[in-house]
């Protein structure tokens, strides 16, 4: 039996294998697989490893990257791999104040947010409504693919069982961890939110309908089932790419219960946007790409110690702040937007995205490349164009928007002025931004503590107007226009 020796964090582990598998395959079996933002196509370089022993020669993708890639290198016999030391991601688990009365039922309830990138679980005392324990971790499906389309493709190519079992194992471990923290084990029900794809993969539904036009889900959930041996409610999705996470975020924001026009954005790989006006909810989604989550960026990373999360100008010089004030190791989403805004101000980047230098240094070896700037342009153009199309469909002017809710971990650290400066949203909305943390989890908790809220959101979701952006000529024209940095709207 051949063996792969794995060294990481000062520890050594040996794993046996047969045949000639990819290094990534054996690392996944050992629970050590690096993330694959490019879906294992050898393009992002994020799975770089130090490799020796009986292995394949570097292929074309590895030669271009200048490193060995675990998604490309093949094990031929006994080998050794050294993985980068791990850094703990800071996962957004903050929730807004729950606006629902406790159900007075005995026992505990679990609210779960199944995100594409992260998983978060909170335990609540169902009689008091008290939040008594939290568990969070990265979504293990990231080792298969970073985005929903990559995971849909993986599921259709035979990896559906692995995608389901990986997330179920993680959720069970989180539930056990939270129960230990609470000192109780009397969980009686669960509410689990996630985007439509995440719920499909969790429940082992065939996601083929999400993979091709007309992209119509064959279920939008709003169902009772069993998860981890417990009764679970999956809130309603609004569309194939506007999921239960947005339904819950809309509920948590309270936007549909106020007499004002409001926007909500959940800005990630798939940017979801909701607009409420005079009793009508409009929603859309747009493929923004993973740049705002630090993926696909040359020095990109998650919210780890040492990630640059804020960048600003001081006396004409670039200044940075890192998470935990640690030595700069990369650039997370909020820092990326700040960095582009700062370089626009110094005119080292112009409105077209052109940069005077190939690399714009930030701190130590962390810098912005021209490809990074391009990735930000593509991402921000998708969100900005989506916002304008939704406004136009609702027949409102930008100044009529009273509140712009930003959901998710990205929004919690976003500098509203920097986002407006690059044109992510209109400048008139800068002072109207309200970050609402993990709003998907907040909404799930409301439905957990007050099941009557399920009926309220069921009515909202059933009457929503979905605006399709794919093939929409107005969106296509605006997308090109919004590629320019700045904010002239």
φ and ψ of 140, to 5 deg? -65, -15
Q: Is there a contact between 78 and 54 (Cβ–Cβ < 8 Å)?
A: yes
Mean pLDDT of 298-322: 91
Q: Is the pLDDT at 292 greater than 60, yes or no?
A: yes
Q: Residue 385 forms beta bridges with which residues?
A: none
Greatest mean pLDDT range, 89-93, 107-111, 287-291? 107-111
Would you state the structure tokens that stand for residue 243, as one six-digit string? 């999921």
Q: Is the pLDDT at 362 greater than 90, yes or no?
A: yes
- The tens digit of pLDDT for each residue in 398-443 reads 999 999 999 987 777 789 999 999 999 999 999 999 999 899 999 9
Of 313, 365, 315, 306, nearest in space to 339 by CA: 313
Q: Is the pLDDT at 489 greater than 60, yes or no?
A: no
pLDDT of residue 117: 83
Burial of 402 (0-12, 13-18, 19+ CB in 10 A): middle
- The tens digit of pLDDT for each residue in 126-168 reads 999 999 999 998 898 988 887 888 899 999 999 999 999 999 9
Q: Which residues have CB under 8 Å from 208's CB, separation 6+?
A: 156
Angle at 45 between CA 42 and CA 47, to 5 degrees: 90
pLDDT of residue 282: 96
- The tens digit of pLDDT for each residue in 193-221 reads 999 999 999 999 999 999 998 899 999 99
Of 278, 279, 202, 302, nearest in space to 243 by CA: 202
Least confident among 70-79, 358-367, 380-389, 408-417: 408-417
213/320: higher pLDDT: 320
Would you state the structure tokens that stand for residue 371, as one six-digit string? 């490809």
Least confident among 1-10, 332-341, 436-445: 1-10
pLDDT of residue 67: 87
Q: Which residues have CB under 8 Å from 133's CB, separation 6+?
A: 122, 123, 178, 179, 181, 182
Domain 2-82 classification at class level: alpha beta
Q: Is the pLDDT at 289 greater than 90, yes or no?
A: no
- The tens digit of pLDDT for each residue in 446-483 reads 999 998 898 988 888 888 999 999 889 999 999 999 99
Q: Is the pLDDT at 97 greater than 70, yes or no?
A: no
**Three-class secondary structure of residue 140 per DSSP:** helix
**Three-class secondary structure of residue 459 per DSSP:** helix
Of the pLDDT bands very low, low, confident and very high (cuts 50, 70, 90), residue 105 is confident
pTM of the model as a whole: 0.85
Residue 335 to residues 300, 331, 424: CA-CA distances in angstroms? 10, 6, 14
pLDDT of residue 355: 93
pLDDT of residue 488: 59
Q: Is the pLDDT at 34 greater than 70, yes or no?
A: yes
pLDDT of residue 446: 94
DSSP labels, 184-227: ---EEEEEEEE-HHHHHHHTT--GGGGSSTT---S--EEEEEEE
Would you state the structure tokens that stand for residue 452, as one six-digit string? 């009557």
**Distance, CA of 422 to CA of 318 (rounded, Å):** 17
Domain boundaries, the chain: 2-82
The reply to whether omega before 214 is within 30° of 0 (cis) is yes
Mean pLDDT of 6-26: 90
**Distance, CA of 486 to CA of 489 (rounded, Å):** 9
pLDDT of residue 463: 83
**Angle (deg, nearest 10), helices 439-449 and 452-462:** 130
Q: Is there a contact between 423 and 484 (Cβ–Cβ < 8 Å)?
A: yes
């Amino acid at each position: 039996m051949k063996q792969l020796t794995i060294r990481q964090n000062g520890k050594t582990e040996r794993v046996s294998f047969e045949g000639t598998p990819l290094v990534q395959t054996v690392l996944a079996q050992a629970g050590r697989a690096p993330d694959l933002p490019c879906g294992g196509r050898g393009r992002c370089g994020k799975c770089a490893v130090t490799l020796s022993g009986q292995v394949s020669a570097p292929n074309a993708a590895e030669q271009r990257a200048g490193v060995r890639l675990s998604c490309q290198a093949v094990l031929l016999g006994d080998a050794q791999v050294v993985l980068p030391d791990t850094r703990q991601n800071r996962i957004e688990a903050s929730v807004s104040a729950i606006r629902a009365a406790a159900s007075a039922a005995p026992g505990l309830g679990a609210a779960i947010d199944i995100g594409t990138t992260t998983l978060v679980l909170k335990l609540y005392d169902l009689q008091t409504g008290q939040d008594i324990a939290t568990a969070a971790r990265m979504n293990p499906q990231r080792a298969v693919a970073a985005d929903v389309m990559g995971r849909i493709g993986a599921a259709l190519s035979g990896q559906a069982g692995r995608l389901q079992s990986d997330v179920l194992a993680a959720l069970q471990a989180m539930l056990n961890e939270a129960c230990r923290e609470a000192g109780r084990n009397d969980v009686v029900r669960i509410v689990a939110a996630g985007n439509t794809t995440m719920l499909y993969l969790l429940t082992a539904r065939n996601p083929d309908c999400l993979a091709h036009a007309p992209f119509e889900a064959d279920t939008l959930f709003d169902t009772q089932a069993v998860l981890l041996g417990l009764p679970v409610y999956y809130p309603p999705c609004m569309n194939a790419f506007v999921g239960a996470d947005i339904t819950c975020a809309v509920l948590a924001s309270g936007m549909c219960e106020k007499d004002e026009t409001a926007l909500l954005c959940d800005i990630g790989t798939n940017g979801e946007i909701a607009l409420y006006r005079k009793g009508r909810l409009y929603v859309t989604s747009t493929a923004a790409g993973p740049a705002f989550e630090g993926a696909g960026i040359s020095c990109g990373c998650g919210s780890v110690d040492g990630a640059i999360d804020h960048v600003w100008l001081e006396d004409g010089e670039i200044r940075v702040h890192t998470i935990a004030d640690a030595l700069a190791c990369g650039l997370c989403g909020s820092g990326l937007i700040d960095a582009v805004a700062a370089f626009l101000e110094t005119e080292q980047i112009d409105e077209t995205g052109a940069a005077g230098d190939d690399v714009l240094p930030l701190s130590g070896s962390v810098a912005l490349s021209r490809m990074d700037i391009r990735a930000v342009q593509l991402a921000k153009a998708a969100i900005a164009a989506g916002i304008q199309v939704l406004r136009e469909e609702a027949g409102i002017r930008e100044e009529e928007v009273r509140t712009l809710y930003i959901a998710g971990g990205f929004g919690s650290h976003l500098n509203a002025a920097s986002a407006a400066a690059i044109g992510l949203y209109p400048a008139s909305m800068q002072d109207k931004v309200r970050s609402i943390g993990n709003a998907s989890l907040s909404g799930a908790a409301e439905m957990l503590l007050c099941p009557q809220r399920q009926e309220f959101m069921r009515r909202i979701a059933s009457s929503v107007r979905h605006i399709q952006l794919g093939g929409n000529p107005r969106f296509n024209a605006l997308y090109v226009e919004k590629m320019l940095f700045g904010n002239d709207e």
